[in-house]
Amino acid sequence: MKLQDHLIYANPECFVPALPPPVTSAGAGTEEDEKRMKQELQRWFDVISSNPILIRDEEIMLFVESDFGVRNKLGRKSC
């Protein structure tokens, strides 16, 4: 949410879509909910990354390039 707010205020000339809601109609905590949430977040990032101004925003670059909270396939946090 802070990233979206930053993009809105730092780039008033750009359309920044609303983030998808934290729960889908599939019901919180279900596998289908997780799948839909990932799809909706991917669509949000696709819109952001397709904008030549937003993709060059320093906060977006830091967010995309960071490895904070990244998990490997075994489910363990990366170092």
What whole-number distance in Å separates Cα of residue 48 and Cα of residue 60? 9
Per residue in 62-74, pLDDT (tens digit) is 988 887 655 555 5
What whole-number distance in Å separates Cα of residue 68 and Cα of residue 79? 9
Is 11 inside any structural domain?
A: yes
What per-residue confidence (pLDDT) applies to 48? Answer: 93
Is 29 inside any structural domain?
A: yes
Specify the pTM. 0.70
Is 71 inside any structural domain?
A: no
Is 24 inside any structural domain?
A: yes
Query: DSSP of 1-64, one letter per residue?
Result: -HHHHHHHHH-TTS--PPPPPSS-TT-TTSHHHHHHHHHHHHHHHHHHHTSTTGGG-HHHHHHH
The CATH code of the domain that includes 52 is 3.30.1520.10
Per residue in 38-59, pLDDT (tens digit) is 888 899 999 999 999 999 999 9
Per residue in 9-33, pLDDT (tens digit) is 999 999 999 988 877 776 777 787 7
At which residue do the structure tokens 């489910």 appear? 75
- The domain total for the chain is 1
Is 69 inside any structural domain?
A: no
Is 53 inside any structural domain?
A: yes
41 is in which domain, residue-wise? Answer: 2-63
